[in-house]
Structure 1
Amino acid sequence: MAAAQRSFRTLAPEVSRGAGTSRRATTTGQIKEFILVEGLCPGDPLPTEAELCERLGVSRSSVREAVRTLSTLGIVDVRHGHGTYVGAMSLDALVEMLVFRGVLSAGDDLRALRDVVEIRQVLDHGMAIRIVASLTGTFNPDLHALVDEMVAVAAEGRTFPEQDRAFHTGLLARLDNALVGQLVSAFWEVHTVVVPTLGLSVAADMDQTARAHGLMLDAAEAGDVRAFHAAVTAHYDPLDRALGATRS
């Protein structure tokens, strides 16, 4: 512990007393540096406020401001009555910001939503080889059941957000990459939250979208990367058309 503290102290920058905003930003950086140097993991406790003040050489107000900032970002988790812990560092803050940006852009030709949909497509296409490799030669009854549910729901003229999320999460669950799964889930959530608020309807093409999920799964299990790419494109075609119609 002593060695880690010495390393931390050499990394902590000096801050002039007159720069309040800079001091708070620096304290935020120092706390993040402390977490890294000490090798702390999500769920590990941080020192008390008084201990952080002593170790960082800053005031209580600077520590409190920094902790509030880091809590908003999910880097730390403040448990009232228990202390402050290293957070799970989810993408919740990113999702909230993108949802608000998407709704705010309603009068801006839906540009933010187009950006989100484009990123979703990039992620699906970009992970195609990995997804296909992980599913080739397998049969996945859970994913096939979700496809059947989507097709049935679409036949009733309804959307299927829960099944859609479970399907995409299930495809990525076979990969050893937690971050890409979080990113896909984050952009999926922005997508599904923003679309209803903008009155954008793609219900007429729900059947194509539902069946495209089945084509994606069949292609992956068959080891056909090209067919998987084609199915991803078919999956997003209805939404691309709906978004394109708003340009005119």
Structure 2
Amino acid sequence: MAVTDEAIQKIREMITSGDLGPGDRLPPEKELSERLGLSRNSLREAVKALEVIRVLDVRRGDGTYVTSLEPRLLLEAMSFVVDLHTDRSVLEIFGVRRILEPAAAALAARQLSPETSARLEHLMDETDAVAGVEDLVEHDLEFHQAIVEASGNEYLSRLVESMSSATVRARIWRGITQQGATDRTIAEHRGILDALQRGDSRLAEALMLTHIAGIEAWLRDAS
């Protein structure tokens, strides 16, 4: 194991064991390196790496702190990687969505709150004013994100959100080139919402799977 990897692992163990918690300040560099049996140089490299993935927050002149460790922060690195996608990888992203979002819809159906139901109804009502493909894609993004958030799993929500930006171009292209794409999308969204509001988790899961798989199949054929 490389010395930097060993340093990262030891800091991670301090966090997972509870020696360090969200918001805690790390001991001074000299003290921490001696405590962990590491060189100060390898410790610095580990801190840099953990800062990049938002586990640590280095405050110049103040010290190094553990971040809040909230999913939103920890998945920012994932979002950065997704933003570097190629056209080929969009299909793989849709493949991941096809696995995750039906499960999210099933969870949401079991615990849909009146507030989320009203929010989704409002989004559906707004489709009457959809002026073009870009408006439809914006609606699509909001609709899917609202359902994933309703699953109650913040890691799942942030993970799906991190992948959404990478699929916008594909969604717009489908709306422009596939006949009836707008009406089909709205109708499928309505079916998913009806299943959610009835609390039918299996139907919501199946309809979400069909919805995403349809986009994925079109994209595969169009590639």
Q: Please classify the TM superposition score into its range, dividing by the shorter chain length.
A: 0.7 to 0.9
Distance 1:81 1:152 in 2: 53
Q: Does 1:28 align with 2:8?
A: yes
After superposition, residues 68-87 of structure 1 pair within 5 angstroms as: 68-87=48-67
**Conserved 8 A contact 1:131-1:220:** yes
Pairing partner for 2:38 from 32, 53, 58:
58
Q: Compare the two structures and name the one with the higher helix fraction.
A: 2
Q: Does 1:149 align with 2:126?
A: yes
Alpha-carbon distance change, 115 to 41 in structure 1, aligned in 2, over 3 angstroms: same
Alpha-carbon distance change, 186 to 157 in structure 1, aligned in 2, over 3 angstroms: closer
Q: Does 1:201 align with 2:173?
A: yes
Alpha-carbon distance change, 241 to 23 in structure 1, aligned in 2, over 3 angstroms: closer
Distance 2:195 2:220 in 1: 28
Q: Does 1:121 align with 2:104?
A: no
Uncovered stretches (5+) of structure 2, i.e. residues with no partner: none
Q: CA deviation at 1:137?
A: 8.3
Distance 2:2 2:162 in 1: 31
Residue 221 of structure 1: aligned partner: 197
After superposition, residues 146-185 of structure 1 pair within 5 angstroms as: 146-153=123-130, 155-185=131-161
Instruction: Kindly report the root-mean-square deviation, in angstroms, between the aligned alpha carbons of the 2 structures.
Output: 2.8
Q: CA deviation at 1:185?
A: 1.5
Structure 2 counterpart of 1:175, which letter? Answer: S
Alpha-carbon distance change, 229 to 27 in structure 1, aligned in 2, over 3 angstroms: closer
Residue 187 of structure 1: aligned partner: 163
Q: CA deviation at 1:220?
A: 0.7
**Conserved 8 A contact 1:125-1:232:** yes
Alpha-carbon distance change, 221 to 137 in structure 1, aligned in 2, over 3 angstroms: farther
Alpha-carbon distance change, 27 to 127 in structure 1, aligned in 2, over 3 angstroms: same
Distance 2:203 2:18 in 1: 47
Alignment partner of 1:38: what SS?
Answer: coil
Q: State the identity as a percent.
A: 30
Q: CA deviation at 1:219?
A: 1.1
Q: CA deviation at 1:132?
A: 1.3
Uncovered stretches (5+) of structure 1, i.e. residues with no partner: 1-20
Alpha-carbon distance change, 37 to 222 in structure 1, aligned in 2, over 3 angstroms: closer
Distance 1:134 1:160 in 2: 27
Residue 96 of structure 1: aligned partner: 80
Bigger RCO (CA 8 Å, 6+ sep): 2
The count of aligned residue pairs is 215
Alpha-carbon distance change, 226 to 59 in structure 1, aligned in 2, over 3 angstroms: closer
Distance 1:80 1:147 in 2: 48
Distance 2:114 2:182 in 1: 29
Alignment partner of 2:58: what SS?
Answer: strand
Q: CA deviation at 1:243?
A: 1.2
After alignment, is 55-64 or 162-171 more displaced? 162-171
- TM (norm. structure 1) is 0.73
